[in-house]
Amino acid sequence: MDPSRLAEEFEQVLNVGIALSSVHDLEKLLDLILLEARRLTRADAGTLYLVKGNRLVFRVSQCQSLSDRLGEERMRQMYQSFEMPVSPESIAGYSALTRKVLNLGDVKQIPPEASYHYNSSWDQKAGYDTHSMMVVPMLNRENEVVGVLQLINAMSDGRVIPFRMEHQRLASSLASQAAVAIENAELTEDLKQAHLDTIFRLGVAAEYRDKETANHIKRMSHYCALIARGLGWSDEEVETILWSSLMHDVGKLGIPDSILQKPGRLTPEERKIMELHTNIGGSILKGAKAPVLQKSRIVALTHHEKFDGTGYTRGLKGEKIPLEGRITVLADVFDALSSKRVYKEAMAEAEVLRILTEGRGTHFDPAILDVFLGSLEEARRIQGRYSDREEDFDKLRGLGSTEGEEEDSAAT
Amino acid sequence: MDPSRLAEEFEQVLNVGIALSSVHDLEKLLDLILLEARRLTRADAGTLYLVKGNRLVFRVSQCQSLSDRLGEERMRQMYQSFEMPVSPESIAGYSALTRKVLNLGDVKQIPPEASYHYNSSWDQKAGYDTHSMMVVPMLNRENEVVGVLQLINAMSDGRVIPFRMEHQRLASSLASQAAVAIENAELTEDLKQAHLDTIFRLGVAAEYRDKETANHIKRMSHYCALIARGLGWSDEEVETILWSSLMHDVGKLGIPDSILQKPGRLTPEERKIMELHTNIGGSILKGAKAPVLQKSRIVALTHHEKFDGTGYTRGLKGEKIPLEGRITVLADVFDALSSKRVYKEAMAEAEVLRILTEGRGTHFDPAILDVFLGSLEEARRIQGRYSDREEDFDKLRGLGSTEGEEEDSAAT
């Protein structure tokens, strides 16, 4: 092989590796890995599996010729998630088990003494004709199998040919880079999930002494995300408000029980203290460097402002109220009215909508209210998904005994 | 250049890229980048800068011949962190600004019309003789400069030669991979810091209504880390207990003000409720998937157990108490005795140590107590670093006014 061609191909692999390392979203990453592997090896189709325990979990499938024939949408519908054991009976399982590349010129001519055989059910279902196949294990630096790349039908001038050695080399190089990129994306995902979980628990803790349930903050944060999406925010911005609105009431941690849990109406003085929960929240979140916590602080400070300037803590008016505040105030009020609390029943939806509409331009930003009312269908689904059960209202139940803890505890 | 040699070198660059992607600790990563860059280019010495805003920040320097002569320790002492502007006057600045590789055969023969010049102060200070130099900008996928690699004195048979073109190519490939690895390590760091920050705020919030200060949980978590290190735990395990102990009292969020803030002695019934804070903490943290939160739950549940089985919540005894519990109980008691609270002065150290020693084998695990007493010097430093000032005892001050918030708030 001539050096300049070799140099060019290596350059490609290097660039693909860099591209993979830059993608932190696992779904997008897996798509890109398969796409680049197919491109480097001129494969018409391919499938990517991840190893979870001793199972191979199907994650992505792509097929150029079928996509051209059926369209992307029909293609997507044809693939269903499935799992299979890491065992020598399947081609992908054999590769995962032996950590070896399998380069099969024609899957219909696998010798009978091989432990694996070709499963033609997919070909039959899709009306596809698989011949050449190359299966490449994705090994991490500890030589553990992270997943398996299955490349199908190498193309040359419109005909299917066996995969060439140079393609096997390229695919193997790509697979090593893919393995580390997958592990990094999973690490990033884990770190983000752990953080989200902590934020959620902080939010729940803040509602602990109050009459709210954990589902209130879940519903409310999803309403906020719904509105943000309706406003055309990016995925990342939507995710940020989903997270940051979880902590809107964190300042309630600083409000005395005597006020927070008072059964009747608050006196004007008590109300003043209660309203301090916005500032206390701001102070708990003060000085945070993480963008999501900075947004949380804005939410905590401004989720009781009203569009006409009659809200608290600062009496900001209209556009002076940060968008996050204008979104959360609506989500919060909607949830307060439409859900059951210990001291009241849920209000009928028509009545809730009447009240919201009455607040158009006074309590709520008209534009945001319109977006929300336009997504009512989805809001109802959120409501259904995170509806409160009776036991959610009895939060401290069982805490007095140590029995419940002992059963499941990791601490014993 | 012959193909097999080329293939081998590319293989090297690929493997280096994979190695870099697997390192998430920024310090270790920068060290490894410079080491591999020097190895690939046969450079005797090198320096790595990161770009922060419009400054170049010195991060790592390595020099084989000086290390051999002076020893690693002396070497490290010679380097001091410094910054310089990204400007055409310095060699590294020029490379960062133009995004170009500078390959200088001899820095002492830079033509006078060049905007940059060689700063020989380091050579003079270290008794080193810099001749050839190659400066490679580390560009990310958006073509932004993440940092600059400065490689010094290419070696061949013990003599300094100019850097060869093939080395320039290799170093450039490495630099692209390094750039994305650096950005990924920074992302991981940011995610971890954001999570740690949230955990800390959850811990602080839990102490909000209590008589504790934020410094109490900082000191306590550092005492825990100190003990864990003394027990020979890995860096990761030490970090985990540092984080997870921050939330030891998170369950106080569920204790009524009337008990938590009662000025005098608690009645036996009140004490029973107060002691529930361990179980409430366990329930706030229940079902968490993140290892650090799982450990937090263990800490929350067991930080009042005593070694002889007379503690709460479960009256576990000896080794039945998770190590995390045995560590945190000691750290918590030490800090409670040795620091000032609103209702008491700090106790003299001799008296504190007498009480701890009295509890050897009854209150505290003897092995853990011994480790702690052996690290008293470091414990005193922690005490000094996070000592409470008067204002820390007056937590709600200023929350009543909106003035303070408005000044610094990101919400306006």
Per-residue pLDDT of chain B (412 residues; tens, 9 = 90+): 567 777 788 788 889 999 999 999 999 999 999 999 999 999 999 999 999 999 999 999 999 998 888 887 887 777 777 899 999 999 999 999 999 999 999 999 999 999 999 988 889 988 899 999 999 999 999 999 999 999 999 999 999 999 999 899 899 999 999 999 999 999 999 999 999 999 888 887 777 677 677 788 899 999 999 999 999 999 999 999 999 999 999 999 888 889 988 888 999 999 999 999 999 999 889 998 889 999 999 999 999 999 999 999 999 999 999 999 999 999 999 999 999 877 788 899 999 999 999 999 999 999 999 999 999 999 999 999 998 776 555 544 444 333 334 333 333 3
CATH code, domain carrying B253: 1.10.3210.10
B156 plus B279 within the same structural domain? no
Q: How many CB pairs under 8 A join A and B?
A: 229
pLDDT at A401 over 80: no
- Contact across the interface for A198 and B195, Cβ inside 8 Å: yes
B165 plus B270 within the same structural domain? no
A262 plus A179 within the same structural domain? no
Task: State the Rg of chain B over Cα.
Answer: 28
H or E segment and range at residue A87: none
Nearest CB partner across the interface for A399, out of B19, B276, B322: B276
Query: Mean pLDDT, to the nearest integer, of A190-214?
Result: 82
Nearest CB partner across the interface for A205, out of B3, B190, B250: B250
B131 plus B262 within the same structural domain? no
pLDDT at A226 over 90: yes
Packing angle between helix B349-358 and helix B323-338, nearest 10 degrees?
Answer: 150
The sign of the dihedral angle between the CA atoms of B187, B188, B191, B197 is: negative
In a domain, B406, yes or no: no
Q: Which of B5, B16, B21 to probe by mutation at the A interface, max A CB count within 10 Å?
A: B21
**Residue A252 among the catalytic residues:** yes
Q: Which of B202, B258, B319, B401 to probe by mutation at the A interface, max A CB count within 10 Å?
A: B202
Q: How sure is the predictor about A407, in pLDDT bands with cuts at 50, 70 and 90? A: very low
What mean pLDDT is reported for chain A?
Answer: 89
pLDDT at A1: 59
Q: How sure is the predictor about A186, in pLDDT bands with cuts at 50, 70 and 90? A: very high
B212 plus B285 within the same structural domain? yes
Using a CB-CB cut-off of 8 Å, the residues of chain B touching A24 are 184, 187
Residue B295, token pair as written in the block: 């450990």
Flag the least confident range among A132-146, A303-317, B119-133: B119-133
- B357 Cα to chain A: minimum distance (Å): 26
In a domain, B200, yes or no: no
Q: Please tell me the total count of domains within chain B.
A: 2
- Provide the residue range defining the domain that includes B179: 3-186
In a domain, A124, yes or no: yes
pLDDT at A405 over 50: no
Query: Mean pLDDT, to the nearest integer, of A365-372?
Result: 98
In a domain, B228, yes or no: yes
Give dist(CA A65, CA B186) in Å, integer: 41
Cα B262–B266–B271 angle (5° rounding)?
115
pLDDT at A408 over 60: no
In a domain, A277, yes or no: yes
Final residue of a domain: which of A154, A185, A216?
Answer: A185
In a domain, B33, yes or no: yes
In a domain, B402, yes or no: no
B156 plus B298 within the same structural domain? no
DSSP E strands: which ranges in A105-201?
Answer: 133-139, 145-156, 159-161
The pTM (predicted TM-score) of the whole model is 0.83
Residue A122, token pair as written in the block: 């997919």
Q: Which of residues A402 and A23 earns the better pLDDT score?
A: A23
A242 plus A335 within the same structural domain? yes
Final residue of a domain: which of A151, A185, A219?
Answer: A185
Q: For residue A55, what are the CA distances in angstroms to A90, A104, A133, A175?
A: 12, 23, 21, 19
B302 plus B178 within the same structural domain? no
CATH code, domain carrying A17: 3.30.450.40
Q: How sure is the predictor about A13, in pLDDT bands with cuts at 50, 70 and 90? A: confident
A178 plus A212 within the same structural domain? no
In a domain, B411, yes or no: no
B44 plus B182 within the same structural domain? yes
- What ipTM does this complex have? 0.81
B165 plus B218 within the same structural domain? no
B163-166: long-range pairs with CB below 8 Å, 24+: B163/B41, B163/B43, B163/B103, B163/B132, B163/B133, B163/B134, B166/B1, B166/B9
- Contact across the interface for B290 and A193, Cβ inside 8 Å: yes
pLDDT at B89: 94
Query: Mean pLDDT, to the nearest integer, of A104-125?
Result: 92
